[in-house]
């Protein structure tokens, strides 16, 4: 099927199959974090060991996503999706029946190998199936998948673990994965064009070391028990950074690179990448710090914590298709400026949280922040992708999804570091102040001493959280300045000619 025919009549059925597959894989990834304590207790393993269920999944994604450009160019979307869903289903089954932690971890790794291609593949199909003037609406629905799955994941996970056990997380996902796989085998058609590209093995090795090292390094640095000073943080970061430099140089010298970094010669794509990274780092303040505030300081359970954040996430999902239509009509800049302004203001208000901030105020604040974010991520990314010629779409989607992985790790590490350092200094100051004001002749009971230490700990953590939100406000303001330089791009001439041909044929058939 040629591109002209596809854009005249987009294959909505095939796209729906890809949507459901991507939704299931993203949902699966967001379910596991809340289950880690339960898994740790059942298998009697340490915190560092059980964390590999999340870290290992992230690393496999980080290694395979940069290679997705090659896979998308070389193989049909049908064969890729069926292979990916087969791996994902197999991994889910292994995790469900795992009698020991080793098999559970193997199942998660196989799941990750299947899910890594899902988002780049779906994004590339959307860019192929819809002309530039309709991409905003299409990518808005793509954003719906990216947003709703993570929104319901923690709440669903908390409910299933509280009601059943951690194995229920996999038993819920498996039927949907198998159903999507069966539908794909019988109904999914090829949409994306293929090219006879060849994979450079050295590039794959360099890419794996680079992105794997960077992701693992930042992930370790974001762990409060490890930090930046540990060898398991800085060694992978140094090795990964050196490998990344060599990898980029090699790609720029190759006629047929594994990852085409020359897409950055397109200014709006380059700007959209920078804005996306900056926004992602700021965005993670809300995703990480809000649950910490709600659970650790206010003492709310993980399930109820997820429910408190659910309205904002669902609103963001509802707004995504609407934002897509507005993007098609008005472009990205006005949406991004409004959205980032809302983000900046609400993030600053988060920096004013207190011990007794009302839950209603917190929910409204989080919801408005999500509303602002809904106007930023997809429009910014789509505007950048619109400047690329269609032949570079696989590389653009691979780069965008890789940056999502890396910026997520950076955002987590950065926000945890800022919070921890501020909390430590605030705790020391509060303890010294309490000691200075204490009556030297008074003898505190053990219960009173424990209560005072708890109050100091909570106040110190609150200071750390609000300080991190303030730093996040500054980062969001930087993104706002960058958004002012966005321009509505025109599609490349080769794509314009193709779209003119499509429209001419449509008129002729009417």
How confident is the model at residue 49, as a pLDDT?
A: 86
Is-contact 273 400, C-beta < 8 A? yes
Tell me the per-residue pLDDT of 65-94, one tens digit each, with 9 for 90 and over: 999 999 999 999 999 999 999 999 999 999
How confident is the model at residue 435, as a pLDDT?
A: 74
How confident is the model at residue 452, as a pLDDT?
A: 80
Task: Give 201's contacts (C-beta < 8 A, 6+ positions apart).
Answer: none
How many residues in total does the chain contain?
Answer: 510
CB atoms within 10 A of CB 366: 22
When pLDDT is averaged across residues 195-201 and rounded to a whole number, the result is 87
Q: Which percentage of the chain shows pLDDT scores above 90?
A: 47
Q: Which of 264, 290, 304, 305 is nearest to 350 (CA)?
A: 290
Q: What is the DSSP string of 248-301?
A: HHHHHH-SS-SS-GGGGGSHHHHHHHHHHHHHHHHHHHHHHHHHHIIIIIS---
Residue 337 has pLDDT above 50, yes or no: yes
Q: For residue 235, name the pLDDT band (cuts at 50, 70, 90).
A: very high
DSSP 356: T
How confident is the model at residue 97, as a pLDDT?
A: 96
How confident is the model at residue 510, as a pLDDT?
A: 47
How confident is the model at residue 78, as a pLDDT?
A: 92
Residue 447 has pLDDT above 90, yes or no: no
C-alpha distances in angstroms, 326 versus 138, 374, 385? 12, 12, 17
Between 169 and 220, the more confident residue is: 169
DSSP 193: -
Residue 105 has pLDDT above 50, yes or no: yes
How confident is the model at residue 493, as a pLDDT?
A: 56
Of the ranges 31-45, 51-65, 213-227, 474-488, the best mean pLDDT one: 474-488
- How far is it, in rounded angstroms, from Cα 87 to Cα 11? 25
- How far is it, in rounded angstroms, from Cα 218 to Cα 335? 31
How confident is the model at residue 43, as a pLDDT?
A: 93
């Amino acid at each position: 099927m040629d591109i002209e025919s596809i854009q005249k009549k987009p294959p909505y059925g095939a796209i729906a199959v890809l949507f459901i597959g991507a939704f299931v894989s993203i949902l699966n990834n967001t379910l596991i974090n809340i289950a880690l304590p339960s898994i740790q207790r059942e298998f009697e393993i340490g915190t560092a060991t059980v964390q590999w269920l999340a870290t290992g999944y992230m690393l496999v994604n980080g290694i395979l996503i940069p290679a997705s450009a090659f896979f998308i160019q070389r193989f049909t979307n049908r064969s890729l999706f069926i292979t990916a869903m087969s791996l994902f289903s197999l991994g889910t089954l292994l995790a469900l029946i795992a009698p020991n932690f080793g098999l559970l971890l193997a199942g998660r790794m196989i799941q990750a190998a299947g899910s890594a291609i899902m988002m780049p593949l779906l994004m590339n199909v959307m860019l192929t199936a819809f002309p530039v003037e309709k991409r905003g609406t299409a990518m808005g629905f793509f954003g719906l998948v990216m947003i709703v799955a993570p929104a319901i994941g923690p709440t669903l996970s908390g409910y299933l673990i509280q009601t059943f056990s951690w194995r229920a997380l996999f038993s819920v996902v498996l039927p949907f994965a198998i159903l999507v796989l069966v539908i794909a085998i019988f109904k999914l058609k090829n949409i994306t064009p293929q090219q006879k590209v060849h994979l450079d093995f050295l590039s794959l090795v360099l890419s794996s070391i680079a992105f794997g090292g960077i992701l693992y390094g930042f992930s370790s640095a974001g762990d409060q028990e490890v930090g930046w000073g540990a060898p398991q943080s800085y060694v992978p970061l140094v090795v990964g950074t050196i490998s990344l430099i060599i990898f980029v140089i090699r790609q720029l010298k190759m006629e047929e690179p594994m990852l085409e970094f020359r897409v950055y010669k397109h200014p709006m794509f380059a700007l959209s990448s920078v804005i996306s990274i900056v926004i992602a780092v700021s965005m993670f303040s809300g995703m990480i710090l809000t649950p910490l505030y709600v659970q650790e300081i206010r003492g709310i359970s993980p399930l109820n914590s997820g429910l408190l954040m659910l309205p904002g996430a669902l609103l963001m999902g509802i707004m995504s298709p609407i934002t897509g239509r507005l993007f098609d009509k008005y472009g990205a800049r006005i949406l991004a400026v409004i959205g980032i302004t809302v983000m900046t203001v609400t993030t600053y208000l988060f920096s004013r949280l207190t011990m007794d901030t009302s839950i209603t105020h917190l929910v409204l604040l989080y919801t408005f922040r999500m509303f602002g974010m809904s106007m930023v991520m997809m429009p910014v990314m789509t505007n950048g992708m619109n400047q690329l010629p269609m032949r570079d779409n696989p590389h653009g989607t691979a780069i965008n999804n890789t940056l999502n992985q890396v910026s997520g790790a950076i955002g987590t590490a950065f926000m945890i570091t800022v919070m921890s350092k501020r909390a430590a200094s605030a705790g020391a100051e509060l303890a010294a102040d309490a000691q200075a004001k204490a009556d030297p002749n008074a003898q505190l009971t053990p219960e009173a001493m424990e209560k005072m230490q708890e109050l100091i700990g909570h106040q110190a953590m609150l200071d750390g959280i609000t300080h991190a939100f303030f730093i996040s406000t500054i980062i969001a303001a930087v993104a706002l300045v960058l958004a002012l330089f966005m321009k509505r791009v025109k599609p490349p001439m080769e794509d314009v000619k193709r779209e003119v041909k499509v429209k001419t044929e449509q008129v002729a058939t009417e």
